[in-house]
């Protein structure tokens, strides 16, 4: 309240531990703001739909005590759905739904997000445990509507603090909460039986029975030896079907009826009513859930948490632990657990190893998922599940752009999508293709049923977290390098500097891609040359490995280039755009995805109808040169109109030294061509022949055609016209252009070949085969029985050895020579993978200089 009373308050961050009661704090703050008329309408935002439901329920039931409230309550709570007037003084929204509607209004040329009736009159924005990427967007949103923002969370790194001026308004740690007796500490018990998660047997509870039995035994022998009644317990299962099996296993193992253990997920009938009974009544004793009870739910009587599902998200894990940390008065506890006295600790039963790396009482954290590894491959739905931004059993919908019909899919625990008719698909795009009948970017086409958010929005949230992790790693590497440099002034053999520098370069690249995506979303797509574009990755040419990295990064960011950056020259301009949701034509762009054929599910296994495993990404085969890679394909064409005279055509050809000339009535309308041969033939037949008599039919190719496929046309007609990415005639390719490009491509190949032969000769003359075998084939598996079996990599291994190098007797530095040879090997690999771009002139010069050195010292 004091913060809001300051002059021009903008934003504040409060750090409080899990289980401390942030929802109660938010409810009390809302009550006071409304009661004192400091705010007419308050917006409460959180990332997860389950949190939104929990906060909505707490706010609706909240009756503040003392002078700050009335018994009938002062809060009139409603839920934001977008574009609908909200009469309540407190509006609860998921960040995905809110930001997607704000984005839609921005793209619709609305002057302000306040054009949405549901957001009219917001005075204060309260944010509950949002990830940094979402929080950054919400800060920008609150600035636009000129409303102060107060964020509540249990952790804050340096980048998050930067959003709030580098400081916390208030910080209260878990240790302080324990000391002040506002939180309860955990006791951890490891369940040793391996957890079998399959639920496809005739008795689905059987594989889980041993784990539940061990939980029962340790519950009364170790955790609560003085009890006879099962304490209120929350069990976290991995899927809805798994939860059903766990409920049945609990009922059988404890020999209790159906009211003893119940399932509480978003898809059961009346989950809030079941939750209310679990919170208030003696039965049920056990609640089995997936994610619904993970956060934002006030369950002070819970004394046991059981983890039967792996948790790879620290955020989700800490929130789950928070369900047990709440304090409760002895009388209130005994009202639901009669044989309890007081709650002084809560028990954590771990069947999946989620607590192995530390204990919660000392604030140790379960190691974070290696988010930075996600930036090296395409995202999968399983990554969203692991990151806690998507739940198993969540419903997705796909609305056909043509018919408007809606298809529903369910997220599976294996990261696939299941249709209601039983079909199963391994990726969003595969499922969308099955519905639409043509390639579709499933990440933008499928929308979550509850949050109304495209899967791509969840992916961008995860990607932002991954990039932030990578940024943190880069900062740590830089600090280590700085400390090492201060202690020891530069060691030439120290590899950390190179690794740290590469990480920093990677962070800069991903940050730039994030900017490109943000600007593209705002309708300000960037256009730049291919050379500038690949320069984001620190590259000067397009080899197979670089193309794979770029396509992965573009896919993860939901971006494409138009035209395809692979199919044009380095100087051609490309526009970086958001990948379209649907691509009904072969030329339209649907984002590349993981291999995604439909799955055929049997009682024993799930298999992809294609022979490819779902974990493997669909890789486009490496391509050689395409027509668009030739410079002349995009240099434009000189032309004359069909009504021109033959003298105009001859003059134009003489002035430019052309052998052929286009006849066009517009950039896209190619009527034909004239050549010296066609002019001579027309004038031979008739001395005053018009231009039309000399026009020959045009030979056209697409800029995306493989060059090797159009060589017969060029051979037969001497030239072809190129239709470019915008359907205009963009250039002309002649036989001499082909000879020139292949000459540029093959020259380095021959130089590399001579380097290979010369190195082999040098090694053969100076080093015996036995030493070479020891260095390159110690176990004899390669059967190197002669120097002819050596590769460029073998030369590198031999010459990096100090003894072998000494045998050469060269007055040169081994490390410098080996470093250059390593570069030569990389160039050789690129050439053998048919890098579509000619090597830069300086690289060819470097190869020639290296060959000259070898010739000079060749025995």
Per residue in 397-452, pLDDT (tens digit) is: 998 887 888 899 988 878 889 887 888 898 899 999 899 888 888 998 998 876 67
Computed from CA positions of residues 468, 474, 475, 476, in that sequence, does the dihedral angle turn out positive or negative? positive
Is 571:397 a contact under the CB 8 Å cutoff?
no
Distances (CA, A) of 502 to 87, 507, 541, 604: 53, 9, 18, 45
Written as six digits, the tokens of 287 are 């609640």
The mean per-residue pLDDT over the stretch 801-812 comes to 90
Beta-carbon contacts of residue 628 (< 8 Å; ≥ 6 apart): 563, 567, 568, 569, 572, 634, 703, 704, 722, 724, 725
Q: Do 2-172 and 186-362 fold alike per CATH? A: yes
Sheet containing strand 77-79, strands side by side: 77-79, 90-94, 42-46, 124-128, 149-153, 11-15, 170-171
Q: What is the pLDDT of residue 66?
A: 45
| H helix intervals, 767-813 | 769-776, 792-800, 802-808
Domain locations in the chain as residue ranges:
2-172, 186-362, 627-727, 740-857
Architecture of domain 627-727: Roll (3.10)
| Between residues 692 and 177, the one the model is more confident about | 692
- Split at pLDDT 50, 70, 90, the class of 487 is low
Which residue, among 135, 181, 182, 138, has the nearest Cα to 159 in the 3D structure?
135
Distance from C-alpha of 382 to C-alpha of 594, rounded to nearest angstrom:
12
The answer to whether residue 589 scores a pLDDT higher than 60 is no
CB 590 within 8 A of CB 440: yes
Tokens of 542: 């397009």
Residues 6+ apart with CB under 8 A from 679: 646, 649, 650, 694
Taking only the tens place, the pLDDT of each residue in 129-170 is: 765 556 777 888 888 888 888 888 766 666 677 778 777 788
For residue 421, count CB atoms less than 10 angstroms from its CB and return exposed for 0-12, middle for 13-18, buried for 19 or more.
Answer: exposed
Q: Residue 680 has what pLDDT? A: 94
Q: Could you tell me which residues come within 8 angstroms of residue 88 by beta carbon, excluding any fewer than 6 positions away?
A: 41, 75, 76, 77, 78
Tell me how far apart the alpha carbons of residues 600 and 657 are, in angstroms, rounded to a whole number: 64
- Whole-angstrom distance, CA of residue 342 vs CA of residue 330: 5
Q: Which secondary-structure segment (H or E) carries 1? A: none
Contact 301, 375 (CB under 8 A): no
What percent of the chain lies above the pLDDT cut of 90?
27
Q: Residue 125 contacts by C-beta under 8 Å, 6 or more apart in sequence?
A: 42, 43, 45, 138, 141, 142, 145, 147, 148, 149, 150
Averaged pLDDT for residues 13-28:
81
- DSSP strand E in 606-745: where? 606-608, 639-640, 660-664, 670-675, 700-702, 719-723, 729-734
- 60 pLDDT band, cuts 50/70/90, is confident
Question: 452 φ, ψ to 5°?
Answer: 60, 40
CA distances from 641 to 592, 672, 719 (A): 42, 10, 20
Coil, helix or strand at residue 499 = helix
183 bridge partner residues? 326
Contacts for 337 with CB less than 8 Å, ≥ 6 apart: 229, 231, 232, 282, 301, 303
This prediction has a pTM of 0.55
Q: Are 796 and 764 in contact (CB under 8 A)?
A: no
Q: How far is CA 341 from the centre of its chain?
A: 49
pLDDT one-digit tens code per residue, 446-455: 988 766 778 9
The DSSP string of 500-565 is: HHHHHHHHHHHHHHHHHHHHHHTT--EEEEHHHHHHTTT-SS--HHHHHHHHHHHHHTTEEEES-G
pLDDT band at 340 (very low <50, low <70, confident <90, very high): very high
Cα(51)–Cα(129) distance, integer angstroms = 9
DSSP H helical ranges for 7-85? 22-35, 49-61
Residue 582's DSSP bridge partners are 440
Give residue 77's pLDDT: 72
User: Is the pLDDT higher at 296 or at 538?
Assistant: 538
Give the model's pLDDT for residue 590: 45
Residue 554: predicted pLDDT: 93
Q: Which of 109-118, 638-647, 753-762 is predicted most confidently?
A: 638-647
pLDDT for the residue numbered 426 = 87
User: What rounded mean pLDDT belongs to the chain?
Assistant: 79
Residue 67 pLDDT class (50, 70, 90 cuts):
very low
pLDDT 10s digits, 217-243: 999 999 999 999 999 999 998 777 788
Give the H or E element holding residue 352: none
Q: Is the pLDDT of residue 269 over 60?
A: yes
- How long a stretch of residues is the chain? 859
pLDDT score for 267? 67
What confidence tens digit (pLDDT) does each residue in 311-326 have? 766 667 777 888 898 8
pLDDT, average across residues 383-393: 77
Instruction: Please give the structure tokens belonging to residue 282.
Output: 């003696």
- Whether 86 has a pLDDT exceeding 60, the answer reads no
What per-residue confidence (pLDDT) applies to 102?
Answer: 72
Structural contact between residues 765 and 671, judged by C-beta atoms closer than 8 angstroms: no
Residue 113 has pLDDT above 60, yes or no: no
Of 519-528, 583-592, 839-848, the poorest mean pLDDT is in: 583-592
Query: Comparing 41-50, 549-558, 819-828, which segment has the lowest mean pLDDT?
Result: 41-50
pLDDT bin (cut points 50, 70, 90) of residue 105 is low
pLDDT at 49 over 80: no
- Give the DSSP per-residue string, 98-140: HHHHHHHHHHTT-S-GGGSGGGTT--EEEEES--HHHHHHHHH
The region, left, alpha or beta by phi > 0 then psi within -120 to 50, assigned to residue 412 is beta
Domain 2-172, second-level architecture: 3-Layer(aba) Sandwich (3.40)
Q: What is the mean pLDDT of residues 589-612?
A: 36
pLDDT at 3: 60
DSSP per-residue letters across 597-626: PEEEE-SS-EEESSSS-TTSB-PPPP---B
Statement: residue 646 has pLDDT above 90: yes
Query: Stretch 598-610: mean pLDDT, rounded?
Result: 32
HEC string of 229-245 equals CCCEEEEECCCHHHHHH
Phi, psi dihedral angles at 59 (to 5 degrees): -65, -40
| pLDDT band (50, 70, 90) for residue 119 | low
Instruction: Identify whether the C-beta of residue 594 lies closer than 8 Å to the C-beta of residue 380.
Output: yes
Q: Is 601 left (phi over 0), alpha (psi -120 to 50) or beta?
A: beta
Query: How do beta strands 670-675 and 660-664 pair?
Result: antiparallel
CATH class for domain 186-362? alpha beta
- Record the tokens describing residue 494, joined without a space: 């120290």
Quick one: CA dihedral 201, 204, 207, 209, positive or negative?
Answer: negative
More confident residue, 529 or 6: 529
Structure confidence at residue 659 as a pLDDT band (50, 70, 90) = very high
In 3D space, the residue among 336, 299, 390 whose CA is nearest the CA of residue 57 turns out to be: 299
- The C-alpha atoms of residue 792 and residue 767 are separated, in whole angstroms, by 16
Reply yes or no on whether the pLDDT at 816 is more than 70.
yes
- For residue 681, what pLDDT is reported? 93
Q: Which helix (H) or strand (E) holds 743?
A: helix 735-766
In three-state form (DSSP H/G/I as H, E/B as E, the rest C), the secondary structure along 154-191 is CCCCHHHHHCCCCCCCEECCHHHHHHCCCECCEEEEEC
pLDDT tens-digit series, residues 839-850: 778 888 899 999
Question: What is the DSSP code (8-state) at residue 264?
Answer: -
Q: What is the token pair recorded at 438?
A: 């043509």
pLDDT of residue 319: 78
Do the bridges between strand 424-425 and strand 526-529 make them parallel or antiparallel, or are there none, so unpaired? unpaired
Our measurement of the distance from residue 531's CA atom to the centroid of its chain's CA atoms, rounded to an integer in Å, reads: 25
**Tokens coding 174:** 């878990």
Q: Residue 573's beta-bridge partner residues?
A: 529
Residue 316 CB contacts under 8 Å (≥ 6 apart), including other chains: 291, 294, 295, 388
Cβ burial, residue 202 (10 Å; 0-12/13-18/19+): exposed
């Amino acid at each position: 309240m004091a913060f809001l009373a300051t002059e021009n308050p903008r934003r504040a961050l409060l750090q409080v531990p899990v289980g401390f009661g942030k929802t109660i704090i938010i409810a009390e703050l809302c009550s006071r703001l409304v009661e004192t008329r400091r705010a007419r309408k308050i917006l409460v935002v959180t990332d997860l739909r389950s949190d939104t439901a929990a906060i909505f329920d707490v706010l609706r039931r909240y009756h503040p005590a003392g002078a700050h409230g009335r018994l009938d309550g002062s809060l009139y709570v409603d839920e934001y759905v977008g574009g609908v007037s909200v009469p309540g003084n407190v509006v609860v929204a998921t960040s995905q739904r809110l930001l997607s509607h704000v984005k839609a209004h921005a793209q619709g040329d609305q002057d302000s997000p306040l054009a949405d009736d549901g957001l009219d009159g917001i005075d204060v924005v309260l944010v509950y445990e949002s990830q940094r990427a979402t929080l950054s967007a919400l800060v920008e949103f609150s600035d636009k509507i000129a409303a102060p923002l107060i964020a509540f969370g249990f952790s804050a790194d340096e980048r998050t603090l930067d959003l709030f001026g580098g400081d916390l308004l208030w910080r209260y740690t878990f240790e302080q909460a324990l000391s002040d007796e506002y939180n309860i500490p955990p006791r951890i018990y490891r369940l040793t039986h391996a957890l079998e998660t399959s639920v496809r047997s005739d008795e689905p509870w059987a594989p889980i029975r041993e784990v539940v039995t061990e939980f029962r035994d340790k519950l009364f022998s170790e955790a609560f030896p003085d009890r006879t009644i099962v304490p209120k317990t929350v069990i976290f299962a991995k899927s809805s079907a798994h939860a059903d099996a766990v409920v049945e296993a609990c009922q059988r193992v404890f020999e209790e009826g159906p009211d003893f253990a119940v399932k509480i997920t978003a898809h059961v009938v009346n989950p809030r009513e079941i939750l209310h009974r679990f919170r208030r009544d003696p039965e049920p004793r056990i609640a089995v859930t997936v994610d619904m009870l993970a956060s934002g739910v006030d369950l002070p009587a819970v004394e046991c948490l059981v983890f039967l599902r792996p948790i790879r998200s620290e955020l989700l894990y800490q929130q789950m632990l928070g369900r047990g940390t709440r304090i409760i008065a002895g009388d209130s506890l005994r009202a639901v657990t009669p044989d309890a006295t007081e709650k002084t600790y809560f028990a954590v039963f771990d069947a999946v190893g989620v607590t192995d790396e530390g204990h919660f009482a000392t604030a140790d954290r379960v190691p974070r998922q290696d988010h930075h590894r996600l930036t090296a491959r395409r995202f999968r739905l399983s990554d969203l599940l692991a990151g806690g931004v998507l739940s198993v059993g969540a419903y997705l919908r796909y609305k056909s752009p043509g018919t408007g019909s809606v298809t529903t899919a369910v997220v599976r625990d294996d990261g696939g999508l299941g249709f209601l008719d039983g079909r199963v698909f391994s990726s969003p795009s595969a499922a969308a293709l099955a519905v639409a009948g043509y390639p579709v970017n499933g990440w933008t086409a499928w929308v979550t049923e509850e949050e109304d958010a495209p899967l791509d929005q969840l992916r961008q949230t995860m990607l932002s977290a991954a990039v932030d992790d990578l940024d943190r790693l880069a900062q740590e590497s830089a600090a280590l390098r700085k400390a090492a440099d201060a202690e020891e002034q530069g060691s030439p053999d120290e590899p950390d500097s190179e690794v740290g520098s590469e990480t920093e370069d990677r962070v800069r690249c991903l940050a730039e891609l994030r900017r490109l995506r943000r600007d593209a979303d705002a309708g300000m797509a960037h256009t730049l040359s291919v050379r500038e574009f690949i320069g984001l990755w620190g590259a000067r040419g397009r080899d197979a490995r670089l193309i794979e990295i770029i396509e992965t990064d573009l896919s993860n960011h939901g971006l494409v280039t138009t035209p395809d950056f692979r199919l044009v020259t380095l100087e051609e301009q490309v526009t970086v755009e958001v990948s379209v949701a649907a691509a009904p034509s072969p030329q339209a762009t649907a984002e590349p995805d993981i291999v995604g054929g439909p799955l055929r599910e049997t009682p024993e296994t799930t298999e992809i109808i294609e022979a490819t495993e779902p974990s493997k990404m669909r890789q486009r085969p490496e391509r050689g040169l395409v027509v668009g890679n030739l410079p002349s394909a995009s240099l434009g064409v000189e032309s004359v109109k069909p009504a021109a005279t033959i003298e105009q055509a001859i003059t134009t050809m003489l002035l430019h030294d052309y052998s052929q000339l286009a006849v066009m009535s517009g950039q896209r309308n190619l009527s034909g061509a004239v050549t010296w041969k066609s002019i001579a033939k027309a004038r031979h037949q008739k001395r005053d022949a018009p231009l039309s008599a000399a026009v020959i039919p045009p030979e056209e190719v697409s800029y995306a055609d493989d060059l090797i496929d159009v060589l017969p046309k060029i051979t037969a007609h001497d030239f072809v016209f190129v239709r470019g990415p915008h359907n205009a005639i963009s250039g002309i390719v002649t036989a001499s252009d082909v000879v020139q490009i292949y000459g540029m491509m093959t020259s380095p190949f021959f130089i590399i070949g001579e380097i290979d032969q010369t190195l082999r000769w040098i090694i053969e003359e100076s080093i015996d085969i036995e030493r070479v075998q020891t260095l390159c084939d110690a176990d004899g598996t390669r059967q190197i029985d002669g120097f002819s079996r050596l590769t460029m990599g073998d030369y590198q291994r031999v010459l990096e050895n100090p003894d072998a190098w000494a045998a050469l007797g060269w007055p040169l530095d081994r490390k410098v020579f080996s470093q250059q040879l390593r570069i030569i090997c990389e160039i050789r690999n690129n050439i053998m993978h048919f890098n579509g771009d000619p090597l830069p002139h300086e690289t060819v010069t470097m190869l020639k200089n290296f060959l000259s050195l070898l010739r000079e010292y060749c025995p």
